[in-house]
């Protein structure tokens, strides 16, 4: 197993953990006496976007060649 695959898989799992924790925090009811400094919904959206990009790179590493999709014409 190459180091690129290990690092990419760790980044994917890390982004998944951040997305999961931020969605957990976003689902809690708001405390009216505390000001939320971070909107956890935006953090979750950003983490899922990172997961999509890293997931595409992970598929490329596992396949062994760049996945270009279908070509019509």
Give the pLDDT confidence of 15-67 residue by residue, as tens digits.
999 999 999 999 999 888 998 899 999 999 999 999 999 999 999 999 888 77
Higher pLDDT, 14 or 65: 14
Residue 42, token pair as written in the block: 């935006």
Question: Strand, coil or helix: what is 31?
Answer: coil
From 46, 51, 64, select the one nearest 9 (Cα to Cα). Answer: 51
**Taking a C-beta distance cutoff of 8 angstroms, is the pair 51, 16 a contact?**
yes
């Amino acid at each position: 197993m190459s180091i690129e695959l290990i690092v990419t898989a760790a980044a994917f799992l890390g982004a998944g953990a951040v997305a999961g924790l931020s969605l957990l925090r976003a689902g809690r009811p708001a405390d009216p006496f505390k000001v939320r400094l971070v909107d956890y919904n935006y953090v979750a959206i950003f983490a899922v976007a990172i997961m999509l990009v890293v997931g595409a790179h992970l598929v490329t590493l596992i396949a062994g060649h760049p996945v270009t999709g279908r070509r019509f014409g």
